[in-house]
Amino acid sequence: MIKLIASDMDGTLLDDKKQLPPDFYEVIDRLEEKGIKFVVSSGRTYAAVEHLFPAEYRTKLDYICDNGAYIMHDGKPIHITPLDRATFEEFVRAAEEIGGLKLLVCAAGGTYHLRASDEFNAEVAKFYKNHIECDDLLAIDDVIYKLAVCDMQGAQERGKPALDAIFGDRLNIQVSGVIWMDVMAGGISKGSALKTMCELLGVDRSETMAFGDYYNDTDMLLNAGVSFAMENGNDYIKSICTHRAKKNSEYGVTQAIKEYILDEVTV
């Protein structure tokens, strides 16, 4: 029996207009009746996802944010893994040397980035709230959870190999979009956070279900008993999952939950 469902947000639970499925709250209510916990799992910060849900539902949901660096349960942060300060400063300098990389610093006080064009600021605003322009990333005095790195020349092709060559043994660098990467402390991912959540709730791996569409969902999907790749997901994600869900634009997450959990079709 499934007791915990974790779902990625962008490209998975949210449609192409960044909106929740129209039946989302109906599904959450029915899951609650069955004692099944729904976990929002995102590369975004908590501040960038909480506004999507009305106040009465926020504490009904649990959250894996910053790709596993920040975990919320019952409305409270229960597990936070910040980036080491010295490593953060080394990363900023290395990114400057590589060139062509723009950094977002996701921290307790907001999401910081260097002053940029209106076009870049608009792109950032799609995914992050409370983003703060600054003149020097090394001057940021805050608890840093994650770095988001933009490489317009291609994250998978250029940025990740270059950064892995320097930090691959110390940091978890995950491709989260065509031009985006997320950087967390070593060993931190959506998958590690799912394990932490299962331990907290006393849920076995076999009792979990997860949905995702891109590389940064890999660990979460591999650590779930039942895994769904979105039809709009990339080929690698489809190759590692046990099941397939309809496109995010067709509300594949809630449709699959209805079919396999609420209508109790065997998975």
| Domains of the chain with CATH codes | 4-80+188-262 (3.40.50.1000), 85-185 (3.30.1240.10)
**SS3 state at 224:** coil
Can you tell me the distance from the alpha carbon of 34 to that of 51, in angstroms, rounded to the nearest whole number?
26
Would the CA dihedral through 59, 145, 108, 80 be positive or negative?
A: positive
Contacts of 217 (CB under 8 A, 6+ apart): 8, 12, 41, 190, 210, 237
pLDDT tens series, the chain, 267 aa: 999 999 999 999 999 999 999 999 999 999 999 999 999 999 999 988 999 999 999 999 999 999 999 999 999 999 999 999 999 999 999 999 999 999 999 999 999 999 877 777 777 777 777 788 899 999 999 999 999 999 999 999 999 999 999 999 999 999 998 999 999 999 999 999 999 999 999 999 999 999 999 999 999 999 999 999 999 999 999 999 999 999 999 999 999 999 999 986 666
- Give the C-alpha separation, 246 to 143, whole Å: 38
The upper half-sphere exposure of residue 84, i.e. CA atoms within 13 Å in the direction of its Cβ, equals 11
| Residue bearing tokens 């007791």 | 3
Contact 245, 211 (CB under 8 A): yes
The candidate with the shortest Cα–Cα distance to 181, out of 68, 101, 248, is 101
- The two beta strands, 70-73 and 62-65, are antiparallel
- Of the candidates 66, 47, 67, the one whose C-alpha atom is nearest the C-alpha of residue 58 is 47
Tokens 């270059």 -> residue: 162
Question: Could you tell me the pTM of the whole model?
Answer: 0.91
